Every structure is written in C-alpha cells, then in structure tokens.
C-alpha cells in the first residue's frame, strides 16, 4: 500500500454512534455487508492516548511487525488502550503486522499520537486499508461523541446514531459483559448521549440522521433503504443477508458475535419486561423517563 492511505482526498466516511448494547455493532455489520462500504468497529482515538514518546511508539510498531502471534503483539502494547486498539483492529481485518507498518508510516509523515487530529488520521488509515482491500468506495466505523473533531477532519462525513429503548439497553448491559450495573447512571448516560447527538443533528441536518433499533430489526429493508439514501449509495440486498457474507468481523471476536451472526430478528425487543425487576426499572426511569418519552418510548 502507498502513503495515499493517509491522504484525506475526497473522503466521505460513515460514523456510527450508539450507546453500548444499542445495536451499533449490528448496524455497522449491516453497512459492512454493502459492497461499496467498508466498515471497521470500535477504533476510538481515546484508545491511543498515552504518556509515551514517539520513539517508544516507533519501537512498539517494530515489535508489532516482528511479532509471531497476536498474543505477542498484544504484549508489545505500551498501555491498555493501545492493547485494546490492536485487538479491535482485527475486527476490521487489519493484521497486527500491517498495523505496525501503518504506525511507522504515520510517524514518518511527521504525525504523532499526542494530537487528536493525528490519532484520527491513523484510525482513518486503518479503515482505508480495509476499503482498498475490498475495493469499496467509502470507509467508516463507530465514533465517540466528539463529533466536531471528526467533522473537522472530514467535512463530507455522515453520522448515524442508533437509538434503542434504554431499558432494553440496561437489560443487555446487566446480563452481558463487564458493564457497570448502575441503572440511574446508565439512565443519565442514555439521555445525554442521544440528546447530544440530536443537538449535533440540528446543527448539521444534512450530515446526521437517527435510526431506531426497534425499527431496524422489525423492518430492516425499509430502514436500510433510508440509510443508503442518506449516505448516497444504492441499496444492496447483501445488507439483508449479512449473516451469509464473508465479513471481517466473523473472522475475529466480539461481545455481540452470537447475535450479529444471526439474521436480523426482533427477539430482544422488550426484554427488559422479563429481565429487570421493577425496582431496577424505576431507578432507570427516575433519571431517564423524560428522555424516553422525548425519543418516542412509552413510560
């Protein structure tokens, strides 16, 4: 690959936002099934933040290139966030050796990891690698809520926020992974996340849109047609049969893998009614009740 992978050019990346366990991984995977779109996953710029010098990062990159296994590559990481970044890059099909090469190219171009804009450019290089390998026309991945930073780098980018009933998000987090089991805290985070995106959408109505998880899994073709129109690409039937596609995520690991490998279904809608106690639901609603109503959910 040439250094053109670091050039902004006419990039029109796709950024997906969604609170954990909201269906963001499903949405990214459905988009990735589109032949013109190459999606990566949770490569957040905060993962690359660390009190490490450029010379140390250069040594880390060389260790990645020479690593004999992913286990060795992970050991080379200078801090936990970088280790997570290495593991998550694999979800987009980026081998740790190629990641090391991209880091060296990044440093050779005079870029650093101490600046957020430079970290975003390294992330973009990782994503463009997949786009070029798959002969797609645009790249994308999940983003954090610092939308203006992404927009500053790529004025032509598009943002999608996936919204799921916060009580179902809570039920999923309470029963999956190592999420904090604090209903009220999650309620505040749920409300803040979606209100913040809506503010961004109000300021940039042509660049941002929302999709409901419930609508996506109930009427996937309808919702995906809306999204492809928003993104300016033709609808692809591949998106409706993503489970049968040869996607990079399916060769890696992910907390949501069991669900994402299945055809789209509605089995998890309303799970909070059986999974959560009335006390836990009330703790969440006491904080997020107004926001639930604001986003169209009955309380």
- The pLDDT value recorded for residue 185 is 96
Can you tell me the distance from the alpha carbon of 190 to that of 172, in angstroms, rounded to the nearest whole number?
13
Question: Tokens 């990062």 map to which residue?
Answer: 57
DSSP letter string, 210-267: EEEHHHHHHSHHHHHHHHHHHHTS---GGGGGGGGS--GGGGS--TTHHHHTSPP--T
Whole-number pLDDT of residue 11 = 83
Q: Superfamily for 10-36+137-299? A: P-loop containing nucleotide triphosphate hydrolases (3.40.50.300)
Gap between the Cα atoms of 276 and 92, Å rounded? 34
Residue pair 6/107 in contact by the 8 Å Cβ criterion: no
Taking alpha carbons only, the member of 103, 102, 110, 114 closest to residue 53 is 114
283: pLDDT strictly greater than 70 = yes
Please tell me the distance from the alpha carbon of residue 261 to that of residue 259, in angstroms, as a whole number.
6
Return the structure tokens found at 25: 């991984």
Q: Distance between CA atoms of 246 and 251, rounded to whole angstroms?
A: 9
Would you kindly state where each structural domain of the chain is located, as residue ranges? 10-36+137-299, 40-136
pLDDT of residue 258: 80
**Residue-level pLDDT at 253:** 77
pLDDT digits (tens, 9 = 90+) for 179-190: 777 999 999 999
pTM of the entire predicted model: 0.94
- Please say if the pLDDT value at position 4 is more than 70: no
Residue whose structure tokens are 């589109």: 34
Q: Is the pLDDT of residue 257 over 90?
A: no
At 178, is the pLDDT very low, low, confident or very high (cuts 50, 70, 90)?
low
DSSP assignment letter at 3: G
Distance CA 87, CA 92 (A): 10
Per-residue confidence (pLDDT) for residue 8, from 0 to 100: 46
- Helices 96-108 and 116-133, packing angle to 10 deg: 130
pLDDT of 199-226, one tens digit each? 999 999 999 999 999 999 999 999 999 9
Whether the pLDDT of residue 149 is over 90: the answer is yes
pLDDT for residue 1? 35
């Amino acid at each position: 690959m040439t250094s053109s992978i670091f050039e902004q050019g006419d990039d029109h990346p796709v950024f997906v936002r969604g609170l954990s366990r909201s269906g963001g991984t499903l949405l990214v995977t459905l988009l990735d099934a589109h032949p013109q779109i190459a999606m990566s996953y949770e490569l957040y710029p905060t993962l690359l933040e660390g009190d490490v010098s450029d010379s140390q990062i250069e040594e880390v990159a060389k260790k990645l290139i020479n690593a004999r296994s992913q286990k060795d590559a992970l050991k080379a990481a200078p801090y936990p966030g970088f280790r997570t970044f290495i593991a998550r890059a694999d979800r987009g099909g980026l081998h740790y050796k190629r990641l090391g090469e991209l880091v060296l190219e990044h440093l050779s171009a005079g870029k650093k990891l101490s600046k957020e804009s430079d970290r975003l450019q390294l992330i973009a290089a990782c994503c463009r690698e997949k786009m070029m390998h798959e002969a797609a026309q645009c790249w994308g991945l999940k983003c954090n809520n610092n939308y203006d930073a992404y927009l500053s780098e790529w004025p032509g980018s598009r943002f999608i926020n996936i919204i799921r009933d916060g009580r179902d998000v809570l039920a999923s987090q309470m029963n999956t992974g190592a999420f904090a089991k604090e209903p009220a805290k999650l309620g505040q985070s749920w409300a803040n996340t979606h209100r913040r995106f809506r503010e961004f959408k109000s300021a940039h109505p042509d660049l941002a849109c929302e999709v409901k998880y419930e609508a996506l899994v109930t009427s996937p073709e309808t919702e995906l047609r809306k999204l492809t129109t928003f993104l300016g690409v033709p609808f692809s039937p591949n998106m409706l049969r993503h489970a049968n596609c040869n996607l990079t995520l399916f060769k890696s690991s992910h907390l949501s893998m069991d669900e994402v490998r299945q055809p789209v279904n509605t089995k998890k809608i309303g799970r909070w009614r059986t999974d959560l106690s009335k006390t836990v639901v009330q703790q969440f609603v006491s904080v997020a009740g107004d926001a639930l109503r604001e986003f169209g959910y009955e309380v």
